[in-house]
Amino acid sequence: MKFAIQVNEGPYQHQASDSAYQFTKAALDKGHEVYRVFFYHDGVHNGTRLTTPPQDDRHITNRWIDLAEKYDLDLVVCVAAAQRRGIVDDGEAKRQGKDATNIAPRFRISGLGQLVEAGIQAERLVVFGD
Amino acid sequence: MSEEDTMEEGGTVKKFLYVNRRAPYGSIYALESLEVVLIGAAFEQDVSVLFMEDGVYQIKKGQDTKGVDMKNFSPTYRALEMYDVEKLYVEKESLDERGLTEDDLLVPVEVMTRAQVSDLMEEQEVIFNF
């Protein structure tokens, strides 16, 4: 099965990004394909490399990064949602005149078209959030 | 999955449903849903938009957001027609529960019962729930 995953909630605040991760990992471990994980709304906060949880807690951002490394997973943060919430990569920093970036490795910032395209390409779009 | 899904990239047309369930200004879901609808229109899919529960307030006439210092984005719903997004549905029970009628809405819609909403969802291939 070819899945696309949408994550609509921020990490730690809401279980959605945990559930999305567990689902994505389980699907990949079972040999399914995950075409893309798309982070929208507060879900874009999954993709900041500045995330620093207590040491005895799960590291949600690093978990995504490790999964992406293992399976060459496409992790896409919505540009419009990211701009509102201060998630910045090199390109955005240049365009918007910002003095820093915080996008995590293996994540990329792109447009909402990537979400719609994922819906078209995948056999199932699975949405995590309220 | 249907035969259509196996067509070459670019030729695939799927039935997309956007489900709007939240009031317009209490959270950002309504606005960011509208942004997906507008971007998604460029992909020329078979799009329907449904308003139910507090989502019916998104298309209520006479919105005035001055007091809460937020952008009134309700005029954008009137522009959906120009994007060829013409199938707008509203759940009757949601209107009734809130003392609203079709005359309170700022765009032409088709009002359907909860049972019909269930059928509408059953027909879809991709559902975005906001």
Count of A–B CB contacts within 8 Å? 50
For residue B65, what are the domain limits? 14-129
CA B59, CA B71: separation in Å to the nearest integer?
14
The CATH number linked to B104 is 3.40.1260.10
Number of compact structural domains in chain B: 1
pLDDT of residue B11: 82
On chain B, the residues whose CB falls within 8 A of the CB of A84 are: 28
What is the average pLDDT across A14-31? 97
> How much is the average pLDDT of A105-118?
98
Residue B7 lies in a domain: no
Mean predicted confidence (pLDDT) in A99-123? 97
pTM for this entry: 0.90
Of the residues A120, A121, A128, the best mutation for testing chain B's interface (the one with the most B CB atoms within 10 Å of its CB) is A120
Q: What gap in Å lies between CA A124 and CA B127, rounded to an integer?
A: 10
How many Å lie between the alpha carbon of B55 and the closest alpha carbon of chain A? 14
Q: Is residue B32 part of a domain?
A: yes
Give residue-wise pLDDT tens across range B17-46. Answer: 999 999 999 999 999 999 999 999 999 999
- DSSP codes of every residue in B40-109: HGGG--EEEEEE-GGGGGGGBSS---GGGT----THHHHHGGGGT--EEEEEHHHHHHTT--GGGBSS--
State ipTM: 0.86
Asked whether residue B40 is assigned to any structural domain, the reply reads: yes
- In A43-82, the residues whose Cβ lies within 8 Å of chain B are 80-81
Query: Does the residue B96 lie in any domain?
Result: yes
| Assigned domain for B6 exists | no
Query: Model confidence over A69-96: pLDDT tens digits?
Result: 999 999 999 999 999 999 999 999 999 9
Active site residue A78: yes
Q: Examine the pLDDT at B7 and tell me if it is beyond 50.
A: no
